[in-house]
Amino acid sequence: MVPTRDDGGGEDAELARLRAAIDAVDDQLLDALNRRAQLALDVGAWKAKHARPFWAPERERALIERLERASAGPFPVAAIRPVFAEVVSACLSLERRLRVAYLGPEATLTHQAARARFGLGARYSPSPSLGEVFAEVARGAADVGVVPVESAAEGVTSHALDLLAESDLSIARRS
Protein backbone atom coordinates (compact mmCIF):
# COMPACT_ATOMS: atom_id res chain seq x y z
CA MET A 1 0.00 0.00 0.00
CA VAL A 2 1.28 3.45 -0.86
CA PRO A 3 -0.12 6.20 1.35
CA THR A 4 -1.41 9.23 -0.52
CA ARG A 5 -3.01 12.47 0.42
CA ASP A 6 -6.65 12.73 -0.63
CA ASP A 7 -7.63 16.32 -1.21
CA GLY A 8 -11.26 15.37 -0.79
CA GLY A 9 -12.18 16.31 -4.35
CA GLY A 10 -10.99 13.14 -6.07
CA GLU A 11 -9.70 13.25 -9.66
CA ASP A 12 -10.91 16.11 -11.73
CA ALA A 13 -11.81 15.70 -15.38
CA GLU A 14 -8.56 17.27 -16.66
CA LEU A 15 -6.37 14.86 -14.70
CA ALA A 16 -8.47 11.92 -15.85
CA ARG A 17 -8.14 13.09 -19.49
CA LEU A 18 -4.35 13.44 -19.17
CA ARG A 19 -4.02 10.00 -17.59
CA ALA A 20 -6.17 8.47 -20.34
CA ALA A 21 -3.86 10.09 -22.91
CA ILE A 22 -0.83 8.62 -21.15
CA ASP A 23 -2.50 5.18 -21.14
CA ALA A 24 -3.09 5.47 -24.91
CA VAL A 25 0.58 6.36 -25.50
CA ASP A 26 1.66 3.45 -23.27
CA ASP A 27 -0.49 1.11 -25.38
CA GLN A 28 1.20 2.46 -28.52
CA LEU A 29 4.63 1.99 -26.93
CA LEU A 30 3.81 -1.63 -26.10
CA ASP A 31 2.61 -2.22 -29.67
CA ALA A 32 5.80 -0.65 -31.03
CA LEU A 33 7.94 -2.79 -28.70
CA ASN A 34 6.19 -5.93 -29.94
CA ARG A 35 6.72 -4.88 -33.58
CA ARG A 36 10.39 -4.22 -32.78
CA ALA A 37 10.69 -7.64 -31.11
CA GLN A 38 9.26 -9.34 -34.21
CA LEU A 39 11.72 -7.49 -36.44
CA ALA A 40 14.55 -8.52 -34.09
CA LEU A 41 13.43 -12.15 -34.50
CA ASP A 42 13.48 -11.67 -38.27
CA VAL A 43 16.99 -10.20 -38.09
CA GLY A 44 18.06 -13.13 -35.91
CA ALA A 45 16.73 -15.63 -38.46
CA TRP A 46 18.59 -13.80 -41.24
CA LYS A 47 21.81 -13.82 -39.20
CA ALA A 48 21.47 -17.54 -38.48
CA LYS A 49 20.87 -18.28 -42.17
CA HIS A 50 23.93 -16.25 -43.18
CA ALA A 51 26.15 -17.42 -40.29
CA ARG A 52 26.50 -13.96 -38.78
CA PRO A 53 27.12 -13.35 -35.07
CA PHE A 54 23.91 -12.82 -33.14
CA TRP A 55 25.26 -9.83 -31.18
CA ALA A 56 26.52 -6.72 -32.99
CA PRO A 57 27.80 -4.28 -30.34
CA GLU A 58 28.71 -1.65 -32.94
CA ARG A 59 25.11 -1.66 -34.24
CA GLU A 60 23.77 -1.28 -30.70
CA ARG A 61 26.14 1.60 -29.97
CA ALA A 62 25.26 3.38 -33.24
CA LEU A 63 21.53 2.95 -32.58
CA ILE A 64 21.69 4.51 -29.12
CA GLU A 65 23.96 7.36 -30.25
CA ARG A 66 21.59 8.10 -33.15
CA LEU A 67 18.59 8.22 -30.82
CA GLU A 68 20.42 10.49 -28.37
CA ARG A 69 21.24 12.92 -31.20
CA ALA A 70 17.71 12.78 -32.62
CA SER A 71 15.88 13.44 -29.37
CA ALA A 72 14.04 16.76 -29.30
CA GLY A 73 12.92 16.34 -25.67
CA PRO A 74 11.39 16.67 -23.19
CA PHE A 75 12.33 13.01 -22.53
CA PRO A 76 15.77 13.27 -20.85
CA VAL A 77 18.64 12.43 -23.20
CA ALA A 78 20.45 10.79 -20.26
CA ALA A 79 17.58 8.30 -19.97
CA ILE A 80 17.73 7.18 -23.61
CA ARG A 81 20.76 4.92 -23.14
CA PRO A 82 19.40 2.89 -20.19
CA VAL A 83 15.90 2.64 -21.69
CA PHE A 84 17.12 1.44 -25.08
CA ALA A 85 19.79 -0.79 -23.55
CA GLU A 86 16.91 -2.68 -21.93
CA VAL A 87 14.90 -2.73 -25.17
CA VAL A 88 17.89 -4.10 -27.09
CA SER A 89 18.67 -6.60 -24.33
CA ALA A 90 15.08 -7.88 -24.29
CA CYS A 91 14.96 -8.20 -28.08
CA LEU A 92 18.36 -9.89 -28.24
CA SER A 93 17.25 -12.38 -25.59
CA LEU A 94 14.49 -13.57 -27.95
CA GLU A 95 17.23 -14.96 -30.16
CA ARG A 96 19.64 -16.00 -27.41
CA ARG A 97 20.55 -14.49 -24.09
CA LEU A 98 23.90 -12.74 -24.17
CA ARG A 99 26.26 -14.51 -21.75
CA VAL A 100 28.24 -12.06 -19.63
CA ALA A 101 31.09 -13.09 -17.32
CA TYR A 102 32.11 -10.53 -14.72
CA LEU A 103 34.56 -10.25 -11.86
CA GLY A 104 33.21 -10.84 -8.41
CA PRO A 105 30.04 -11.92 -6.75
CA GLU A 106 26.63 -10.39 -7.37
CA ALA A 107 26.16 -6.72 -6.43
CA THR A 108 29.81 -5.73 -6.90
CA LEU A 109 30.58 -2.62 -8.94
CA THR A 110 31.60 -4.83 -11.86
CA HIS A 111 28.29 -6.69 -11.71
CA GLN A 112 26.40 -3.39 -11.54
CA ALA A 113 28.36 -2.06 -14.53
CA ALA A 114 27.60 -5.23 -16.50
CA ARG A 115 23.87 -5.00 -15.71
CA ALA A 116 23.80 -1.32 -16.65
CA ARG A 117 25.51 -2.06 -19.97
CA PHE A 118 23.83 -5.33 -21.01
CA GLY A 119 20.39 -5.13 -19.35
CA LEU A 120 18.07 -7.61 -17.75
CA GLY A 121 17.91 -9.89 -20.80
CA ALA A 122 21.51 -11.06 -20.46
CA ARG A 123 22.64 -14.07 -18.41
CA TYR A 124 25.32 -13.15 -15.86
CA SER A 125 28.06 -15.40 -14.56
CA PRO A 126 30.24 -14.29 -11.64
CA SER A 127 33.91 -15.22 -11.85
CA PRO A 128 36.29 -15.41 -8.88
CA SER A 129 39.24 -13.84 -10.70
CA LEU A 130 40.17 -11.66 -13.65
CA GLY A 131 41.85 -14.65 -15.26
CA GLU A 132 38.64 -16.67 -15.06
CA VAL A 133 36.65 -13.88 -16.77
CA PHE A 134 39.12 -13.94 -19.66
CA ALA A 135 39.09 -17.76 -19.73
CA GLU A 136 35.27 -17.89 -19.88
CA VAL A 137 35.23 -15.59 -22.91
CA ALA A 138 38.17 -17.33 -24.60
CA ARG A 139 36.57 -20.78 -24.34
CA GLY A 140 33.18 -19.49 -25.51
CA ALA A 141 31.36 -20.01 -22.20
CA ALA A 142 30.64 -16.26 -22.21
CA ASP A 143 30.06 -13.92 -25.14
CA VAL A 144 31.59 -10.97 -23.32
CA GLY A 145 33.46 -10.30 -20.10
CA VAL A 146 33.37 -7.28 -17.83
CA VAL A 147 36.48 -6.44 -15.83
CA PRO A 148 37.68 -3.29 -14.14
CA VAL A 149 40.62 -1.60 -15.83
CA GLU A 150 40.94 1.07 -13.16
CA SER A 151 39.71 1.70 -9.67
CA ALA A 152 39.45 4.72 -7.42
CA ALA A 153 41.70 3.06 -4.86
CA GLU A 154 44.39 1.60 -7.14
CA GLY A 155 44.21 3.58 -10.38
CA VAL A 156 44.94 1.44 -13.45
CA THR A 157 44.44 -2.28 -12.80
CA SER A 158 47.52 -3.54 -14.61
CA HIS A 159 46.63 -7.22 -14.13
CA ALA A 160 43.53 -6.83 -16.34
CA LEU A 161 45.59 -5.06 -19.00
CA ASP A 162 48.29 -7.76 -18.82
CA LEU A 163 45.67 -10.48 -19.30
CA LEU A 164 44.21 -8.60 -22.26
CA ALA A 165 47.65 -8.25 -23.87
CA GLU A 166 48.32 -11.99 -23.40
CA SER A 167 45.01 -13.07 -24.95
CA ASP A 168 43.43 -12.99 -28.39
CA LEU A 169 40.51 -10.97 -26.94
CA SER A 170 39.87 -7.31 -27.55
CA ILE A 171 38.11 -4.42 -25.85
CA ALA A 172 34.58 -4.01 -27.18
CA ARG A 173 33.88 -0.88 -25.18
CA ARG A 174 35.30 0.98 -22.27
CA SER A 175 32.62 2.55 -20.09
Domain ranges of the chain: 16-96, 97-175
At position 102, the amino acid (one-letter code) is Y
**16-96 and 97-175 share one fold:** no
- Residues whose CB is less than 8 angstroms from the CB of residue 137 and which lie 6 or more positions away in sequence, other chains included: 101, 143, 144, 145, 169
| The pLDDT of residue 104 | 86
Query: Bigger pLDDT: 165 or 59?
Result: 59
- The answer to whether 83 and 68 are in contact (CB under 8 A) is no
Residue range 102-156, pLDDT digits in tens:
988 898 888 998 998 888 889 999 998 888 888 898 899 999 888 887 655 554 4
- CATH architecture for the domain at 16-96: Up-down Bundle (1.20)
| The pLDDT of residue 155 | 47
Q: Interior CA angle at 107 toward 61 and 154, to 5°?
A: 80
| The pLDDT of residue 111 | 92
Residue range 60-87, pLDDT digits in tens:
899 999 999 999 999 999 999 999 999 9
| The pLDDT of residue 44 | 92
Assigned superfamily of 97-175: Periplasmic binding protein-like II (3.40.190.10)
Residue range 5-42, pLDDT digits in tens:
555 555 699 999 999 999 999 999 999 999 999 999 99
